[in-house]
């Protein structure tokens, strides 16, 4: 599924950059999709917060949404959708800035991952259950009017940090060219 979505995004992006420039409307291209933020450990006593360190939360990441076609891209809503208990609560979202994007320009959406603690192994498979969400972007883009960007991360105890693994799945899927306005209510 990931390969299909990325392939569609690449095709959509390159279609507007051709010499003919036959595209019409707006097309959206995310900087990354899907995005695995990584494996984190809890911050120890006395360790300062450093959102960009990539070792312990909070962790911040910026998603860029480029308009690759002629008409302005108008982003009407951006939200987080999660399917597990606490998944969406572990993330906060800021943006998009701006919400109207000219051809070749990009909007930015900042995501902060700040879970309350170590992720459990609720299903007993020996692997910590990741916080899995989707950033959902509603817009006037012809290729992805409802764009879904899966994001996941996990916090493990310090003694599991070097050997931990996790799997990442999107809680929602919307096919290319389709809109699901029930998301981001």
Q: Please check whether residue 165 lies inside any domain of the structure.
A: no
Q: Alpha-carbon torsion 39, 43, 47, 50, what sign?
A: positive
Domain extent for 153: 2-160
What's the confidence (pLDDT) of residue 8? Answer: 39
Q: How far, in Å, are 85, 96, 151, 170 from residue 136 at the CA level? A: 18, 12, 11, 11
Q: Please check whether residue 146 lies inside any domain of the structure.
A: yes
Least confident of 20-24, 38-42, 155-159: 20-24
Flag whether pLDDT at 96 surpasses 50.
Answer: yes
**Using CA atoms, how far apart are residues 19 and 115, in angstroms rounded to an integer?**
47
Residue pair 62/122 in contact by the 8 Å Cβ criterion: no
Q: Please check whether residue 182 lies inside any domain of the structure.
A: no
Q: Please check whether residue 77 lies inside any domain of the structure.
A: yes
Q: Percentage of the chain with pLDDT > 70?
A: 87
Flag whether pLDDT at 9 surpasses 60.
Answer: no
What's the confidence (pLDDT) of residue 14? Answer: 42
Q: What backbone torsions phi and psi does residue 172 show, to the nearest 5 degrees?
A: -150, 145
Q: Please check whether residue 169 lies inside any domain of the structure.
A: no
Q: Please check whether residue 74 lies inside any domain of the structure.
A: yes
Residue 98 exposure: Cα atoms within 13 Å on the Cβ side: 9
Flag whether pLDDT at 20 surpasses 80.
Answer: no
**Considering the chain, what is the average pLDDT of its residues?**
86
The tokens for 122 are: 């609720």
Ordered strands of the 106-113 beta sheet: 28-30, 59-67, 106-113, 91-97
Q: Please check whether residue 184 lies inside any domain of the structure.
A: no
Flag whether pLDDT at 12 surpasses 50.
Answer: no
Q: What is the mean pLDDT of residues 95-121?
A: 94
The tokens for 1 are: 């599924």
pLDDT digits (tens, 9 = 90+) for 38-61: 999 888 778 777 766 778 888 999
Report for 49-53, 128-132, 161-165: range of highest mean pLDDT? 128-132
pTM score: 0.84
Residue 15 sits in a domain of what CATH number? 2.60.40.10
What's the confidence (pLDDT) of residue 16? Answer: 47
Q: How many domains does the chain have?
A: 1
What's the confidence (pLDDT) of residue 54? Answer: 74
**Using CA atoms, how far apart are residues 138 and 145, in angstroms rounded to an integer?**
6
Q: Please check whether residue 173 lies inside any domain of the structure.
A: no
Q: What is the mean pLDDT of residues 27-37?
A: 95
Flag whether pLDDT at 175 surpasses 80.
Answer: yes
């Amino acid at each position: 599924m990931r390969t299909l979505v990325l392939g569609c995004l690449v095709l959509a992006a390159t279609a507007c950059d051709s010499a003919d420039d036959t595209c019409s409307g707006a097309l959206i291209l995310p900087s990354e999709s899907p995005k695995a933020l990584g494996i984190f450990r809890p911050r120890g006593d006395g360790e300062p917060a450093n959102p960009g360190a990539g070792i312990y939360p909070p962790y911040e990441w910026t998603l860029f949404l480029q308009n690759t076609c002629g008409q302005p891209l108008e982003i009407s809503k951006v939200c987080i959708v999660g399917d597990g208990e606490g998944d969406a609560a572990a993330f906060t979202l800021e943006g998009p800035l701006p919400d109207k994007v000219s051809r070749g320009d990009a909007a930015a959406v900042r995501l902060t991952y700040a879970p309350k603690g170590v992720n459990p192994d609720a299903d007993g498979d020996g692997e910590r259950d990741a916080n899995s969400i989707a950033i959902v972007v509603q817009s006037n883009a012809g290729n992805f009017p409802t764009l879904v960007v899966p994001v996941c991360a996990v916090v493990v105890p310090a003694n599991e940090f070097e050997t931990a693994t996790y799997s990442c799945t999107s809680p929602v899927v919307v096919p290319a060219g389709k809109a699901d306005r029930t998301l981001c209510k």
